[in-house]
Amino acid sequence: MKFVVALTGASGQIVGIRLIERLLEKGFEVIAIATRAAKITMKSETDYDEVYLREIATKYYDEDEIYAPVASGSFKYDGMAIVPCSMKTASSIAYGITSNLVTRAADVAVKEKRKLLIAFREAPLHSAHLEALLRLSNLGVIVFPLVFSFYTKPKSLEEMIDFTVSRIMELMGIDVEYKRWG
């Protein structure tokens, strides 16, 4: 299986990085895309950088590489996740604004009826945010707020991140085992 994982400038870079790592651990191909804002936020929030993404991903693209295969509907893959997804990116996708590779690839996923998940990270939300998220949901996008669950009684931030990544992977159609409710 082949997945596209994009990281945008929202907080929560470690979740996108961990998603890429887990997909690779399962033997999947991962095409990674990072925006300029993602790279800045990644350096601020983690010990990782673009070099690490380039090293681990099957293929890596910057947001300006609009000629990349994922910008075309003829390129086949099994799903796309934008983790974390800024409200700028979510709103752009909701209204068909394709100003970089992330929004173009997401637009292709929507038009080709491919699985697209956005893990947005923003709080609080105002009406325009909510309208954009509703619009995305109506387009068939999986809208996943990047919030953590506590019913598993996590003992570390890493456990919380792994639980969230497992939920994302499952929503992307991947069979994963993790602690569930009850």
Output the 3-class SS for 106-124.
HHHHHHCCCCEEEEECCCC
For residue 182, pLDDT over 80 is answered with: no
Angle between helical axes of 36-45 and 13-25 (0-180°, round to 10): 100
For residue 22, pLDDT over 90 is answered with: yes
For residue 167, pLDDT over 90 is answered with: yes
Separation of alpha carbons 145 and 123, rounded Å: 10
For residue 67, pLDDT over 90 is answered with: yes
For residue 107, pLDDT over 80 is answered with: yes
**Tell me, what amino acid is at 168?**
I
Is there a domain that residue 80 lies in?
yes
Mean pLDDT of 120-143: 97
Q: What confidence score (pLDDT) does residue 181 get?
A: 84
Is there a domain that residue 122 lies in?
yes
- Cα dihedral sign for 54, 65, 14, 41? positive
Instruction: Give the domain range for residue 71.
Output: 2-171
- The answer to whether 5 touches 31, Cβ cutoff 8 Å, is yes
Is there a domain that residue 181 lies in?
no
Residue with tokens 């809208």: 143
Is there a domain that residue 179 lies in?
no
Is there a domain that residue 164 lies in?
yes
Alpha helices in the chain (DSSP H): 13-25, 36-45, 50-56, 87-94, 101-111, 127-138, 157-171
Is there a domain that residue 54 lies in?
yes
Is there a domain that residue 177 lies in?
no
Mean pLDDT of 51-78: 97
Contacts of 147 (CB under 8 A, 6+ apart): none
**Tell me, what amino acid is at 40?**
I
Q: What confidence score (pLDDT) does residue 130 get?
A: 98
Q: What confidence score (pLDDT) does residue 35 get?
A: 98
Task: Look at the chain and report how many structural domains it folds into.
Answer: 1
**Angle, alpha carbons 37-121-132 (nearest 5°):** 95
Q: What confidence score (pLDDT) does residue 26 get?
A: 98
Q: Is the whole-model pTM more than 0.85?
A: yes
Q: What is the CATH classification number for the domain harbouring 68?
A: 3.40.50.1950
Q: What confidence score (pLDDT) does residue 60 get?
A: 98
Mean pLDDT of 160-171: 97
